[in-house]
Structure 1
Amino acid sequence: MNFKIVFHVNRAPRNLFGTAITPPQNLSKESQPLTRPSASAKATADKSATLSPSEGERPGVRGLPEDFDSPLHIRNYWARHRETFALGVDGWWPDDGDELPLEARLTRHRCYYEGPLQDRPNVRPWSLHRTGYAGSQRYGGWIWSGDIDGKWETLAAHLSIGLNHGLSLTPFWGSDTGGFYPTRELTGELYTRWFQFSAFCPSFRSHGRTWHLRLPWGWNTGEYGPIENNQNVDRSELHNAEVEPICRKYLELRYRLLPYNYSLARQACDTGLPMMRALWLHYPDDAEAVKLGSEYLWGRDLLVAPVVEKGARARRVYLPEGTWYDWWTGKTVEGRRWIERPVDLATLPLYVRAGAIIPLEPVRQYTAQPVNEPTTLRVYSGTNGAFTLYDDDGHSLGYRDGSDLKTVWIRFRWDDSTRRLTLEPDERMKQCPDGVRVFSVEVAGRDANSRRVEFRGERIEVEL
Structure 2
Amino acid sequence: MVARQGDTRELRHYDVHNLYGWSETLPTLEALQAATGKRGIVVTRSTYPGSGRWAGHWLGDNTASWRHLGDSITGMLEFNLFGIPYVGADICGFFDNAEEEMCERWMELGAFYPYSRNHNTLGAIDHDPGLWPSVAASSRKALRIRYTLLPYLYTLHFLAATKGSTVVRPLFFEFPNIVDTWDIDDQFLWGSWLMVAPVIQQGMTSRRVYFPRGIWYDYYQGAVFNQTYGTERPVVAPRSHVPLFVRGGGILVTQRPRDNTAHSRKEPLGLVVAPDWSQEASGTFFWDDGEGIDTVDKGEFYTADITYAQNSIAWTPTHAHEASGASALLLSDVRVFGVRSRPSQVTLDGTRWHSGDWHYHAASQVRSSLELLA
Q: Which residue is 1:166 aligned to?
A: 80
| Aligned position for 1:83 | none
Which position in structure 2 is the counterpart of 1:217? 130
The one-letter code sitting in structure 2 at the alignment partner of 1:385 is A
- Where structure 2 has 5 or more consecutive residues not aligned to the other structure, the ranges are 350-369
Number of the residue aligned with 1:206: 118
Aligned counterparts of 1:363 and 1:452: Cα–Cα separation in 2: 27
One-letter code aligned to 1:297: L
Question: SS of the counterpart of 1:312?
Answer: coil
Q: How many residues align?
A: 337
Q: Does 1:127 align with 2:42?
A: yes
Distance in 2 (CA, whole Å) between partners of 1:391 and 1:272 is 18
CA drift of 1:101 comes to 2.0
* Alpha-carbon shift at residue 368 of structure 1 (Å): 1.1
For 2:272 and 2:53, locate their aligned partners in 1 and report how far apart those are by CA, in whole Å: 34
| Cα deviation 1:95-130 (Å, max 9, x = unaligned) | xxx9x822212112222123334555x531421112
- Asked if the contact 1:106/1:133 (under 8 Å) is kept, the reply is yes
Greater relative contact order, per chain length (Cα 8 Å cut-off, separation 6+): 2
Q: Which residue of 1 aligns with 2:145?
A: 253
| 1:402 is aligned to 2:316 | no
Tell me which structure has the larger Cα radius of gyration: 1
Q: How do residues 432-451 of structure 1 correspond to structure 2 at under 5 angstroms?
A: 433=325, 435=327, 437-440=329-332, 441-444=334-337
The 3 A distance-change label for structure 1 pair 101 and 453 is farther
Q: In 2, distance between residues paired with 1:61 and 1:275?
A: 38
Matches within 5 A, 1:339-354: 339-354=233-248
Work out whether residues 167 and 190 of structure 2, in 8 Å CA contact, stay in contact via their aligned partners in 1.
yes
Equivalent residues of 1:410, 1:423 under 8 A apart: yes
| Structure 1 unmatched ranges of 5 or more | 1-51, 63-97, 220-240, 455-462
Cα distance in 2 for partners of 1:362, 1:395 equals 20
Q: TM-score, normalised by structure 1?
A: 0.67
Residue 402 of structure 1, CA deviation: 3.5
The question of whether the paired residues in 2 share the 8 Å contact of 1:198 and 1:204 is answered with yes
Which residue of 287, 292, 306 maps to 2:198?
Answer: 306
Q: 1:376 aligns with which of 253, 260, 270?
A: 270
1:411-452 deviation line (CA, Å, top 9, x unaligned): 10111xx111111111x3245846464212331366879979
Task: Identify which of 84, 94, 108 aligns with 1:196.
Answer: 108
1:26-175 matches, cutoff 5 A: 54=5, 57=6, 101-119=17-35, 123-139=38-54, 141-175=55-89
- Which of residues 223, 226, 231 is equivalent to 1:337? 231
Write out per-residue CA displacement over residues 46-85 of structure 1, whole angstroms, 9 at most, x where no aligned residue: xxxxxx862xx357998xxxxxxxxxxxxxxxxxxxxxxx
Residue identity in the other structure for 1:289: T
Please point out which of 391, 396, 401 is paired with 2:287: 391
Could you tell me whether the CA contact under 8 Å between 2:19 and 2:47 is conserved in 1?
no
- Distance between the aligned counterparts of 2:8 and 2:345, measured in 1? 64
**Residue matched to 1:41:** none
Q: Distance in 1 between matches of 2:251 and 2:261?
A: 22
Q: What code does the residue aligned with 2:320 have?
A: M
Secondary structure (helix, strand or coil) at the match of 2:89 reads strand
Q: What SS does the corresponding residue of 1:148 show, helix, strand or coil?
A: coil
Deviation, structure 1 residue 217: 1.3
Deviation track 1:179-227 (CA, whole Å, cap 9, x = no partner) reads 00124xx3211001111111111101111136773321112xxxxxxxx
Pairwise CA RMSD: 2.9
Alpha carbons of structure 1 residues 272 and 200: separation in structure 2 relative to 1, 3 Å? same
- Greater percentage in strand: 2
Answer yes or no: is 1:355 the counterpart of 2:268: no
